Amino acid sequence: MFESAEVGRTVTKEYFVKEELKLQTELLNAQQALREAQIPVVIILSGVEGAGKGEVLNRLCKWLDIRGIQTYAFLDEAEEERERPRYWRFWRVMPARGKISILFGSWYSQPIINRVFHKIGNRRFEREFNRIVDFERLLTDDGVLIVKYWYHLPRRVLKKRIKADKKEKQRHESGTPFFKKFFKRFDEFLAVSERVLRASDTGFSPWHVVEASDGRYRDLETGRILLAAFKSRLAHIDRTVNVTVQPALQSTNPDGSTVTVLDRVDLKQSVTDREYRTGILRLQRKLYKQAWQAYLQRHNTVAVFEGWDASGKGGAIRRVTAGLDGRLYRVISIAAPTDEELSQHYLWRFWRHIPRAGYITIYDRSWYGRVLVERVEKFATETEWTRAYREINEFEAQLCEHGVTLLKFWIHISPDEQLRRFKEREKLVWKQHKITEEDWRNREKWAAYEAVINDMVAHTSTHYAPWTLVAGNDKKFARLQILRTFSDRLDEDLD
């Protein structure tokens, strides 16, 4: 893969200056067009240590309009990052629509380094390939343009450069603290890198290997590749969200004629007041201790609450939090997204709230909105919600691999029970804010929602993050069921 970048290409100064002018003008125009088309761009600068990535960055900042460009380096890991699934840090730096993020190091860095220094085995290394391809597909599916550069230098050039640098008192990258360590394992580094590059060289996100021996050639080539990528993306503006169309998944009939998983929930289950009172106190006490235990073990918990309107999500959440120390949990109520959130992939606004190690985050509604309300109301296209299952599973897999206990509750009630509660809400003054026209409209789509919920459970109930379908007609029974599940799962996952 790298042989093609050991040819020894050079460019004269005169040629460079002439070409630079043209290139810069065209790049600026293309950048402006991308901004207008609201296309986000991720540029990844990677490659051999000492190839001049910093100089390339500087050149790009000169050629492009730096307003709307952000650069990020992933030099070392902060605790805030270690305490969350690894991709959290990449989600943080994703460009908003129309903006450009230039990444210095990326999701490629750690797998490569860990493999070179034998911190991970081959299997783990290869698993990372899938994660990377999945992530890049998710981004490009959402309209992001990814331009990936790999700057290559033959060993002999690098060696010469180091010698020259020593004379020049190490102005260049060979002066960095990592350089020596890296240079010793040069061949291994190349071999490992090549494997990742091949595995992640996809049609939607190809690699560009650039020969870096000559600075002018390197920069000019970078600019030309960028311009070509800009132009090709601009030529396909309309295909934004359909870059890879996957076939729609099989779904039950929206008329509700088929049996759904919800039919298996026995809504007649109930508890007596006495059972409830003693049960809830016992469970809350247990949970209280478990939460502190989790805190001391730096163990994360994420609980998702979904359910029909008026199914009692809020009340159930309060019964859980009543059993928790106020310092150990946060409730995130998912409301309308802000414009910063709208300007990103839909999962972005959930990633940003992922808690640090030791805490509990409760989502009152969640990322499942994508395959529930957004599907029914057609806010998401079919392509978007069908691929969302996979995106969600991958997201949750990352949480669970990081050691997060993930709980997902769907509180089920019957249509009759919902009607009764709606009417009650209308009567009680302090509950009136909870019932709107929209709730009545949603009610009419009961059958459509049933089908959609069935699909959701079918596609996203995984062994690592199963759905708990809660029998919600009796609120007290539901609360006990939820608290018991919560506590049992923590029992399993805590040391």
309 token code pair: 């309107």
- Amino acid residing at 79: E
CB of 338 to a second copy, least distance (A): 5
CB of 340 to a second copy, least distance (A): 5
Please report, to the nearest 10 degrees, the dihedral formed by the alpha carbons of residues 467, 473, 474, 479 taken in order: 30
Cβ proximity to a second copy: between 328 and 448 the closer is 328
Which helix (H) or strand (E) covers residue 332, if one does?
A: strand 329-333
CA-CA distances (angstroms) from residue 155 to 33, 167, 192, 212?
40, 19, 16, 12
Beta-carbon contacts of 452 under 8 Å, excluding residues fewer than 6 positions away, are: 251, 371, 372, 375, 376
- The sign of the dihedral angle between the CA atoms of 343, 348, 349, 355 is negative
Task: List residues bridging with 475 in a β-sheet.
Answer: none
Cβ proximity to a second copy: between 73 and 458 the closer is 73
Cβ proximity to a second copy: between 140 and 487 the closer is 487
CA–CA dist 37, 279 (Å, integer): 57
CB of 495 to a second copy, least distance (A): 17
CA–CA dist 227, 461 (Å, integer): 43
Of 454, 6, 31, 423, which Cα lies nearest the Cα of 223? 31
Beta-carbon contacts of 456 under 8 Å, excluding residues fewer than 6 positions away, are: 368, 371, 372, 389, 467
CB of 246 to a second copy, least distance (A): 32
Cβ proximity to a second copy: between 61 and 164 the closer is 61
CB of 231 to a second copy, least distance (A): 17
CB of 414 to a second copy, least distance (A): 25
CB of 124 to a second copy, least distance (A): 26
Cβ proximity to a second copy: between 48 and 261 the closer is 48
190 token code pair: 């190349």
Beta-carbon contacts of 20 under 8 Å, excluding residues fewer than 6 positions away, are: 63, 220, 223
Contact assessment for residue 307 and residue 369, using Cβ atoms and an 8 Å cutoff:
no
CB of 269 to a second copy, least distance (A): 25
**DSSP secondary structure code for residue 323 in this structure:** T
Cβ proximity to a second copy: between 244 and 293 the closer is 293
CB of 341 to a second copy, least distance (A): 8
Of 384, 363, 371, 364, which Cα lies nearest the Cα of 459? 371
**Binding positions for a second copy, rule: CB under 8 A:** 21, 24-25, 28, 32, 45, 53-55, 57-58, 61-62, 65-73, 75, 78-80, 83, 96, 104-105, 168-171, 173, 175-177, 281, 284-285, 288-289, 292, 295-296, 314, 318, 321-322, 324-328, 330-333, 335, 338-340, 356, 364, 429-430, 433
DSSP string, 445-491: THHHHHHHHHHHHHHH--SSS-EEEEE-SSHHHHHHHHHHHHHHHHH
Cβ proximity to a second copy: between 92 and 185 the closer is 92
Cβ proximity to a second copy: between 173 and 493 the closer is 173
CB of 16 to a second copy, least distance (A): 15
Angle, CA of 468, 258 and 377, to the nearest 5°: 70
Contact assessment for residue 470 and residue 385, using Cβ atoms and an 8 Å cutoff:
no
**4 backbone dihedrals φ, ψ, rounded to 5°:** -65, -15
DSSP string, 294-323: HHHTT--EEEEEEESTTSSHHHHHHHHHTT
CA–CA dist 200, 129 (Å, integer): 7
Radius of gyration for the chain, computed over Cα atoms and rounded to the nearest angstrom? 27
CB of 261 to a second copy, least distance (A): 28
CA–CA dist 270, 290 (Å, integer): 26
CB of 383 to a second copy, least distance (A): 28
CB of 281 to a second copy, least distance (A): 8
Cβ proximity to a second copy: between 203 and 326 the closer is 326
Q: Is residue 172 classed as helix, strand or coil in its secondary structure?
A: coil
